[in-house]
Structure 1
Amino acid sequence: MNILCIIAAAAENNALGKDNDLLWHLPDDFKRFKSLTSGHKIIMGRKTFESFPKPLPNRTHIIITRDKNYKVENEDCIVVHALQEALNLVKDDPLSFIIGGGEIYQLGLEYANQMELTRVHGTFDADTFFPEFDKDKWQLTKEEYHPKDDRHEYDFTYLTYTKKQKE
């Protein structure tokens, strides 16, 4: 079975970011994101891609934009104009990721069968939010709590969800 995994860090109020930037700095979460996504295709919206200083190493970036003239001069980047085009590019991959932003997560929920959600314990002022998802359609399979410490300003919990099979 091919796994299409949504990966995100969202606050308790589902805040993801503001002004195309993250709201917190959690080094362990960055490390986890890197280890999970390295070597795989990552699907994202244009604004998410543009929030990176440069393309992330060892990953193929699939960037969704409505702008038909949008170009990225990098062999690790593919520009598409709809989620369906992006999904066609990963359909034969054993594992691929949807990495944001809010609108792409919302569209991707229907197609994803796994979710790696880092729940940041706090509420934040944001302009981009993780979508509400139907908890009846997803099963929490793993939970790992991390208290705040000298490197992490907030408590957070890694939550792994698997989409329940339809009856």
Structure 2
Amino acid sequence: MDSLCFVHGFAGGRHKSWEKDDIFWPGDFLAEDLHNNARILSWGYDGYNSGSVESDAMSLAQLKEQNSARNLLRSIFGVAFMGTPFLNEDQELQNWLRHCEQAYNTKLKVMYFCEIGELDDRQTVASTRTPHGIPNILLEAEHRDTCKYSSRVDENYQKVLKVLREWVEEIRATGHDSSVS
């Protein structure tokens, strides 16, 4: 069974980051919408003590000498960033992705879901808030609402679901080892 792990950003929480109107969409919608072909995990951490998402991820990637971390990282198929403000940290992100791909001999799928508020210009958002070379999808929401959906028919939820369905289908078709031992 494939696993999808949701990791919140700074000042977030393993449930509150994904919850709207008491709906925790990864648990309430996603598993069923993926035909129960995926295990849904939500991971929490103390985001206030972290340096940056990228440096935390790089630290995780460098744990390759430890069996459990090596198995975990080898099983990762893709990474979807949701409203993560990289603010010109493209090179650090690119280095992390390259490091993971080389260390674990795998090509990661990456998608960046970027918020676009009512007053934002679509072209400006796509060119200034998304890391260079990373595919992106614009979500009609303010930053904190980028990953909160209270309905299956929410347009943003449908965009995220489409990508995750494609990834799960590709995992099945390619036989990617998504098990963690």
* TM-score w.r.t. length of structure 1: 0.38
**Higher percent of residues as helix:** 2
| Highest RCO, 1 vs 2 (Cα 8 Å, sep ≥ 6) | 1
Which of the two has greater strand per residue?
A: 1
